């Protein structure tokens, strides 16, 4: 699957995210060229790991401007749920 874009609304603003599928169940989340983390399915539910917690071995290095205020977007459960709903739509699966 090729990378694709999604748009969510969080904290009163629109956030454009670039999603990079890894193996069908893991999806790198990139914001303005910076890796913010990874989304994955765990027992049918979307979970997230922030970029700070990812093992960088084997992953491309993305420069990220931490002043943008979005470095921690995958620490917000509501944002994770919104991204998960968008991924479900793209993947054609029913929300878990």
CA–CA separation, 1 and 71 (whole Å): 25
The per-residue pLDDT for 81 is 94
The per-residue pLDDT for 76 is 87
The per-residue pLDDT for 54 is 76
For each successive 10 residues of the chain (96 residues), what is the average pLDDT? Answer: 92 90 87 86 90 64 53 83 94 72
The per-residue pLDDT for 21 is 92
**Secondary structure (3-state) at 19:** strand
Is this prediction's pTM over 0.85? no
Q: Return the CA Rg of the chain.
A: 12
What count of other Cβ atoms lies within 10 Å of the Cβ of residue 18? 16
């Amino acid at each position: 699957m090729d990378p694709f874009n999604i748009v969510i609304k969080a904290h009163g603003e629109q956030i454009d995210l670039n999603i990079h599928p890894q193996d069908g169940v893991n999806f790198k989340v990139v914001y303005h060229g910076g890796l913010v983390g990874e989304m994955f399915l765990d027992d049918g539910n979307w979970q997230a790991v922030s970029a700070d917690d990812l093992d960088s071995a084997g992953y491309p290095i993305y420069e990220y401007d931490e002043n943008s205020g979005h470095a921690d977007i995958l620490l917000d459960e509501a944002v994770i749920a919104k991204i998960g709903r968008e991924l479900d739509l793209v993947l054609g699966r029913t929300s878990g």
